[in-house]
C-alpha cells in the first residue's frame, strides 16, 4: 500500500498540470477561478530579504522576485492560490519550501507574492489558500489518504445531481 502511494505521488508529481511555473500565471486582474477549492484559512507572512538566494527545503534557491511559498504540509511543486480577503487581491504561488509544523502561520510567501497581495506593510495577514481545481484536490486526497492534516480541508467533490420532486396532486 505504501509503495502504491509513493508511485502515485511520483507519477502525479511528474505529470500533473498544476506544476506550472506560477510566475506565468500572475497577470494582474486575473480573476480567481470559480472552481478553486478552499483548503485552508489562516495567516500568511513573507520571507525576509536576508533569505534571498538561499537554498530552500526543496533544494531550489529562493528568489524573492518569484512567486513561491513555504507550507507545513503541501508537497513541493504544488500550485496554490492565495487570497487576501481584506482587499480581494490574489496570487498563485508554487510551494518550494517547508514551514515548521509548529509555525503560527499557514504559509510564508515570497516578497513578490506579498507585494501582489498588498501585505508588505502589514507583515502578517489573514488569507485563504485554495487549489485551482478538482484534479488538484484529488491529487491531495490520494497523497494524504487517511493521514490528512487537521488544518487542511481536503475532500473531493462529486458532480452535482439534479433531484426533481414529484408534481403535487391537484386538489380540485
Identify whether 133 is part of a domain: yes
Identify whether 161 is part of a domain: no
CATH of the domain at 115: 2.40.40.10
Distance (Å, rounded) from C-alpha 114 to C-alpha 128?
Answer: 14
Domain hosting 117: range is: 2-144
- Using alpha carbons, select from 39, 119, 43, 140 the residue that is nearest to residue 81: 39
Those residues whose C-beta lies under 8 Å from the C-beta of residue 47, and which sit 6 or more positions away, are: 62, 64, 70, 108, 109, 110, 111
pLDDT in 10s for each residue of the chain, 172 residues: 566 556 555 555 544 444 444 444 455 445 556 667 888 899 999 887 777 887 888 889 888 899 999 999 999 999 999 999 999 899 999 999 999 989 899 999 999 999 999 998 998 999 999 988 878 888 888 888 888 888 888 876 555 666 766 666 565 5
- pTM for the model stands at 0.71
Question: What local confidence, expressed as pLDDT, does residue 82 receive?
Answer: 94
Identify whether 88 is part of a domain: yes
Question: How many structural domains is the chain composed of?
Answer: 1
Amino acid at each position: 500500500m505504501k509503495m502504491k502511494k509513493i508511485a502515485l505521488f511520483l507519477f502525479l508529481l511528474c505529470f500533473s498540470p498544476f506544476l506550472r511555473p506560477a510566475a506565468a500565471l500572475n497577470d494582474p486582474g486575473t480573476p480567481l477561478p470559480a472552481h478553486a477549492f478552499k483548503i485552508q484559512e489562516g495567516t500568511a507572512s513573507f520571507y525576509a530579504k536576508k533569505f534571498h538566494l538561499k537554498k530552500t527545503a526543496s533544494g531550489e534557491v529562493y528568489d524573492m522576485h518569484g512567486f513561491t511559498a513555504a507550507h507545513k504540509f503541501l508537497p513541493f511543486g504544488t500550485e496554490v492560490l492565495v487570497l487576501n480577503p481584506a482587499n480581494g487581491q490574489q496570487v498563485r504561488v508554487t510551494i518550494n519550501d517547508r514551514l515548521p509544523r509548529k509555525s503560527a502561520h499557514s504559509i510564508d510567501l515570497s516578497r513578490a507574492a506579498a507585494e501582489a497581495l498588498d501585505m508588505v506593510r502589514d507583515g502578517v495577514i489573514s488569507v485563504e489558500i485554495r487549489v485551482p481545481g478538482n484534479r488538484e484536490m484529488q491529487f491531495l486526497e490520494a497523497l494524504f489518504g487517511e493521514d490528512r492534516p487537521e488544518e487542511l480541508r481536503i475532500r473531493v467533490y462529486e458532480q452535482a445531481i439534479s433531484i426533481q420532486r414529484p408534481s403535487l396532486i391537484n386538489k380540485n
